Structure 1
């Protein structure tokens, strides 16, 4: 009998997933798995350590029940391994970007688990970001520039109290203080060197809960979508946001560059130390310079397309 391990974070989101652990395990058993569970702890990278352990023990499936951070730990645990279990998602966080992109139900833990019963899986691309001192895998997006701070600026307490609106509140605050950064972005077929307020490298179309910033309809083609936004006035930036909401029309604007690429080398060319961090899957990643590469169809996920 195939084995599945539920790794769940009891503190994610508004509604604790702990109340649905029994239901999720029952769904896994209905799907034909020998099911067991693990509750994450305050110990650093406890979800990552457990994911590595069960992968090496030969488990066939890991179910991530938590927010994007829990999923990030699991992916970073299994991505370097030669043999990797399948992954399913029960979203219990605030933004749940990756689950949103895969059309996994986000307001019902049992319904999310029942996606497994459909048996629909797909090998999806993941990203690998690394420098001389850092290596990190990601499933959704990476980016640089002050706008990306919106995804990790809210504290967990604010996320718990205000939910998704916490991101919006910080987004409005950051718009007032945007400062351009001078970067060199080297991608497959070109180089951008100059000032930018934002660059985003995406594997899916959902970023901080916004679904129309990056048009990335393919999840298994080996390419990132790269979006570069040049410095502009606040009024024009607000217009770009409106165009983005209106079916990705911002991509035709002269202040925006969009290309598809398999790799990206990102270098910071100014001396301003504020905002040096690169945001990876909604969390502070590491500092410039970084090399990103697309690992094509690297992990098999349960999807709901």
Structure 2
């Protein structure tokens, strides 16, 4: 191959994982160039500039966009390459790295992850879309989203402890939410702790909330955790890491092509990023993303 067919863009979030993004880039970049790839080495000053850079590279016809960072960086890359045919590569350098988990991309070895980019093997998967925005993992639209909102307002402490404190704070006052769902034209009204819409099976660093979701089946997995006591919610949380929460009597699961989720006062999160206030309509876009993996 010649010209643009051998040119890739490497887009890094240098602050991802407390600086791990920059270190991962510095390890992966020589491997990519030694393999004969022409690499545009890019980083944005903020997410808006990074997305502009990514979209410009896709418009220029680069062979692949490779993102170096966590699921937030993958989310940004997805906005640029969805439905374009430009391939997405991933050098994991975040905290959760759920998309990397989906494809068994090495999460602690950026050189090994770069080798997958060089090898060029691909897999085509679906994406979820609401309006003009896409997500690859899970949209959280309940208690978990409220915790994210509180944590984002907090300036102390940093890291996971901020989310732990936000969880404790919200748990004291949280009440089940009244949801209205449209599941492929069927209306469902109920109170629930949370609703999650999954393109993939996990979010938040391996929380398998939408256990059983398949990346290329043309369907979204909608999980409802119906009303339960706060102690029961706390006991159920660890089961998310193994996917065994599916046996809880308050768990409900639907597979749909399109879902509308409505509940008062909720701002949803997807791929770990603030996604938008409810109500939102989410549809599955089959075959929208090609991943180097």
TM-score range, shorter chain: 0.7 to 0.9
Write out per-residue CA displacement over residues 42-89 of structure 1, whole angstroms, 9 at most, x where no aligned residue: 3x511211111111111011110122222222211232x6x3310011
- Alignment gaps of 5+ in structure 1: none
TM-score, length of structure 1 as denominator length: 0.84
Within a 5 Å distance, the mapping from 1:107-126 to structure 2 comes to 107-126=108-127
Residue 28 (structure 2) pairs with residue 24 (structure 1): yes
Matched, 1:188 2:189: no
Pairwise CA RMSD:
2.5
Tell me the SS of whatever aligns to 1:220.
Answer: coil
In the alignment, the residues of structure 1 paired with residue 182 and residue 291 of structure 2 have an alpha-carbon distance, to the nearest angstrom, of 30
Partners of 1:158 and 1:216 lie apart in 2 by 36
SS at match of 1:18: helix
> CA 1:243 to 1:107, structure 2 compared with 1: closer, same or farther past 3 Å?
closer
1:291 and 2:281 matched? yes
User: Following TM superposition, where does structure 1 have runs of at least 4 consecutive aligned residues deviating by more than 4 angstroms?
Assistant: 155-159
| Other-structure match for 1:67 | 70
Q: Whose helix proportion is higher, 1 or 2? A: 2
Structure 2 partner of 1:37: 41
Deviation of the 1:30 alpha carbon: 4.2
Distance change in 2, residues 1:252/1:190 (3 Å):
farther
Q: Once the 2 structures are TM-superposed, how far is the Cα of residue 157 of structure 1 from its aligned partner?
A: 9.2
Describe the SS at the equivalent of 2:166.
helix
Q: CA deviation digits over 1:65-121, x for unaligned, max 9?
A: 122222222211232x6x331001112222222223322222232232222244331
Distance 1:139 1:23, change over 3 A: same
Partner residue in 1 for 2:229: 233
Q: TM-score, normalised by structure 2?
A: 0.88
1:206 matches 2:196: no
2-structure distance, mates of 1:77, 1:177: 39
Task: Specify the SS of the correspondent of 2:232.
Answer: helix
Instruction: After TM superposition, list the pairs within 5 Å mapping 1:152-301 onto structure 2.
Output: 153-155=150-152, 162-188=158-184, 190-245=186-241, 247-268=242-263, 270=264, 275-301=265-291
- C-alpha distance in 2, partners of 1:158/1:112? 33
Distance in 1 of aligned mates of 2:123 and 2:195: 28
* Structure 1 equivalent of residue 52 of structure 2: 49
| Structure 1 position 235, deviation (Å) | 2.0
Per the alignment, do residues 248 and 39 of structure 1 end up closer, same or farther by CA in structure 2, a change over 3 Å counting?
closer
Structure 1 residue 237: Cα displacement: 1.5
Q: Is the alpha carbon distance of 1:38 and 1:215 closer, same or farther for their aligned partners in structure 2, counting shifts above 3 Å? A: same
* Unmatched tracts of structure 2, length 5 or more: none
